[in-house]
Structure 1
């Protein structure tokens, strides 16, 4: 387009200078060239307009494509954000569940430890109860044996055997052993105790306590200022005779209770007679008793 304009600019001065002297044919030829140049200019202008229109259409298509791509990218970004938010929520929920699970595991470990300790205590208690059961069974076996071996003395009324507060008690009336106010064994008492010693000497791993008891009639002599001294002296007299007859000294002890552990009232002669007595008590196994005192948690008895 710029080339056609330049040609016209060059041609027109020449035509003006030669107006008066050119032929008609030359003038027509010039007009034809000018017309052709105009036509070329118009064609070029239309071509340029078509190109501009094409470029604008291409630019619009590109813009729309860019907008569509931007929309697609925005949609993807939003989807990623939603996914990230969902993942964050799930992570938070998973963390909460993990914390709950960890707390539950801790609780279960604590329960398991407590149950383990409880099982240990119960097992110890069971062992202690088993030991007590064996002790009771052994005591009952000894009781049955003693009853059998003392049958003639029991039938003769010279002693009795009973279970009192979980203890085997051999009870001998004072009338058979001692005279009133005396701690010296009589002949019948020595004979009876000799038979008792024969049986006690055969009982292994057992200890016995000889206990003296009186009625509530007071005594006040130079040797026995009270019933305590009298009952204790009688108990020790029995201990000495049992040792002399073969009972191991380490298994015997003596105690005097005076009138303070009656088995009957002291209102009648018969009641007072029953209260005047010697008791030989088979002591329980102290190891078994100690084993039975297993403490619970917190220091309370089991």
Structure 2
């Protein structure tokens, strides 16, 4: 038996070795698959993180652009504040600049409100960026530095807003003082107006006295003629006294009547004080019957020509030209609306009115 055992073949180990190698190969392949999958998911995570970083960088760029625009706006506002200071310095001399200063103050208030809104928007964006940056790792340090710069700019904006509010308070105080001064000036102007009205009233009363004296002298010269009368504050000549029908040339009788009037007015003008700016207004009127001749195409032209003829005669008689006015009213200011011959004759007239310029 011992001989038979010695003659047996040794055990075959290759099948076990092959099984072990196969198992090891399978394990290695499984690990490789796990590694490949891990690399794939890690790449996806890294690409998403890069996209988030790009978005943050774009937002930071937009924020920097907004801050640049705000710097320009602040420079313009400082320039506007300088202009406002200059205008307020002239407010005491001219009350009208109050309106300009008020408009500038309103515009500054609108600018301050706009800056306040922009500040709140920037703070909201900074909070959003801080929340996003808090979820990232140390690779976002540059973005955090930009956020700190944005905070610094916001703090600078807050300081500028505070300075603007201080300046606004100063401007409001200056405006209040200017408005008080304007009220005082209005009171002074009202007093001056009252005094001027009193002076004008006295001059008008004085001129009325001379007008009454003028009418009294004319009444004495002209007598009680029916075609010459006083109507209110006017001395009225019927046109037939001075002119022929349809004519603007003075007749002999009319010249005699006007000569007496001129003499009286020249004597009276020497008594009227020089500070009374008086004039004698000569108004020409016609009736409503149309006229169309080679010389006069309408009643406007006839009435104006008659008034000018009277003025020229008075100037030739010695009255100064700067104290005379000629006006033509045509048929449009009748004193008798009727259509009878008597009514038409009453409407054809020359009126003299002694008045102030």
Which whole-Å CA distance do the structure 2 matches of 1:278 and 1:135 have between them? 26
Q: Which residue of 2 aligns with 1:226?
A: 298
Contact 1:208-1:251 at 8 Å conserved across structures: yes
RMSD: 2.4
Which whole-Å CA distance do the structure 2 matches of 1:194 and 1:162 have between them? 21
Pairing 1:209–2:281 present: yes
Spell out, residue by residue over 1:50-88, the C-alpha distance to the aligned partner (whole angstroms, 9 max, x if none).
xxxxxxxxxxxxxxxxxxxxxxxxxxxxxxxxxxxxxxx
Contact 1:177-1:190 at 8 Å conserved across structures: yes
Deviation of 1:257 (Å): 1.3
Deviation of 1:128 (Å): 2.0
Contact 1:209-1:281 at 8 Å conserved across structures: yes
Tell me which of 177, 192, 201 is aligned to 1:133. Answer: 201
Contact 2:215-2:235 at 8 Å conserved across structures: no
Contact 1:215-1:266 at 8 Å conserved across structures: no
Contact 2:242-2:254 at 8 Å conserved across structures: yes
Contiguous gaps of at least 5 residues in structure 1: 1-104, 286-302
Q: Which residue of 2 aligns with 1:183?
A: 248
Structure with larger RCO (C-alpha < 8 A, sep 6+): 1
Pair 151,280 (structure 1): closer, same or farther in 2 beyond 3 Å: closer
Pairing 1:173–2:208 present: no
Spell out, residue by residue over 1:257-277, the C-alpha distance to the aligned partner (whole angstroms, 9 max, x if none).
111111111422221111100
Deviation of 1:190 (Å): 0.9
Compute the TM-score of the two structures, normalised by the length of structure 2.
0.45
Which whole-Å CA distance do the structure 1 matches of 2:206 and 2:191 have between them? 22
Select the structure of larger CA radius of gyration. Answer: 1
Spell out, residue by residue over 1:104-130, the C-alpha distance to the aligned partner (whole angstroms, 9 max, x if none).
x99997886455223212212112211
Compute the TM-score of the two structures, normalised by the length of structure 1.
0.53
SS in 2 for 1:215: coil
Q: Which residue of 2 aligns with 1:265?
A: 337
Contiguous gaps of at least 5 residues in structure 2: 1-172
